[in-house]
Structure 1
Amino acid sequence: MTDIGELPGWTHVYSGKVRDLYVPTKLMTDDDSWTGDPLATSPVVLVVASDRVSAFDHLLEPPIPGKGAMLTALTHWWFDELPEVPNHLAHPLDDRLEALELPEVPDAVADRATLCRTLDMFPIECVVRGYLTGSGYKEYVETGAIGGFPLPAGLGDGDRLPEPIYTPAWKAPMGQHDENISYERTVELVGDVVAAQLRELSLEVFASASKKAEERGLILADTKFEFGADRATGIVTLADEVLTSDSSRYWDAAAYATGTTPAERMASFDKQIVRNWLAANWDQQGRPPVLPDEIVEQTADRYRELLDRLRG
């Protein structure tokens, strides 16, 4: 699934739908102590965001030009905007890393690569919703709640919630679907102390990010975070992509206030254009069709517009 192959000084160890992970080759070959699972033993990982795009659990063709670089730039921008939240960025002057003499990040992927400290990741997707829409709205219509969290009656698609809610999900193994779970289930998975930290941090980051988005004429409707424990200190640390078009739902505040249809009010800055086109042109049987050039271009434009508006 990787689209760039091997990188000088780095060994490819894993590919997700969008991201490819690499560890320093020297740590896998120079010392027997680094054998085994490289993500469990290497203190750093190079995360490279690809231009791949997926929908309905399928990878699609062609990729979205510049998507990986835009997601990476947005994540780094948000990390800078949230200095009070510990994150997984690796700094070359870190005493724990300086002695490793890490290889350089290759120029070919520099604009879409992030050098990170490896964490012991928690199997929880920390979802925060400020507005009722998407899968949350469907669950609300059926049950009057989301993840066991009861909501007031009479809410419609796109309505603002009385206050943001934390609705975690269990991160399923590769090839399986994530599963919405109750807060009590997160306690069973990670313990009561960590579960409380995940909820508190998620709501705090969402509140701060929502305010910054509002200042730029944007609504942060919902998002998901991932956290892990720092292997040296145990501190709960923000990881992976943060508040990007792939992990979050943003709407234009002016369109939300004046739009006359749901499509106008809640046009998101992500791959919804792709989902809509596939829903109208594919029965989800067999291989998905190739995306038309205009759908690819429109999607890239939405990603780019969000990045430009947030960064000013």
Structure 2
Amino acid sequence: MEAVPVPGPDGKQTLMKLEDWALQVARSLEKLTGRVDQLAHRNDTLNRENQRLGDTVARQQAELASALDRITRLEEKLGDCAATVSELERAFADIDQRFTNIAGGIAAATHPGRLTEDEYGHHDLAKRYVDFVQQQVMPLTLQSSSGAHLSPYEQARVVAEICLLLFADVEPEPAGLAEVLTRGQLGVDRRALTELCEQARLIRTEARQLGRSQRWVFHAPDDRFDAKRQQQFVGSAMGHEHELAVTLVVAPSYVVGDGDGDGNGNGNGTSIAPQQVFTVRRDAAGPSGLAPRV
């Protein structure tokens, strides 16, 4: 019987009957054929799964594109709605202020000396404004960066310029306050100045929201001191009204109601918070100029 050499596990060749060897080879081929069939079936399954995933991804991408398109259209409509709402809010605020002015005028004529709810709000706000100037603004003039102390008038001048920046028509900015303090050789705390501007904005915004025409009056009609509508700033000269002259409006008055009057809160408006002014004696030489430099 024929035999063929077959390598063994130890690498040495042994003789195996040809029939046995052929049978072993056939069994190995049968196993390989079965494994190839399994791999082919698995490959078909994976191809079908990949196709399903591809279809799902394509469908989801189309749905996402459609959703993004709807979102874009909704955002455009939302922008239009926001603009419409803002326009309506402005119109309502204008109507509300007109109504409040009319109601305030009727209440003032019908019940002289009686305050409306809004007027109480203005009085509360005026107190906060005065406290703000005294407790937040005035201390800035004491933070010298050079070691030197400003004179009372120099302090008043710095406070006047800061108040003008905080309560004039333009929005207050920390950079403007820093420039004033630097020019006066005073300490500059950027974070504190930012907070100062924010507090001033809140006061101004609340004043507008309370209704009725309101304004901050920075100018005096002349240099005559009026104790009914003005208060003397720290360091001012003392004396009887006729002996004093106003040389600087330090902090504006807060005036509520219609009419500009004489520019000092006189007329139809009511001065709720008086002006802070720096006064000198008329018989003494002193600084001049009623308005601070812008």
TM range (shorter): under 0.3
- Greater strand content: 1
Superposition TM-score, scaled by structure 2 size: 0.23
- Greater helix content: 2
- Structure number with bigger Rg: 2
More relative contact order, 1 or 2 (CA 8 Å, 6+ apart): 1
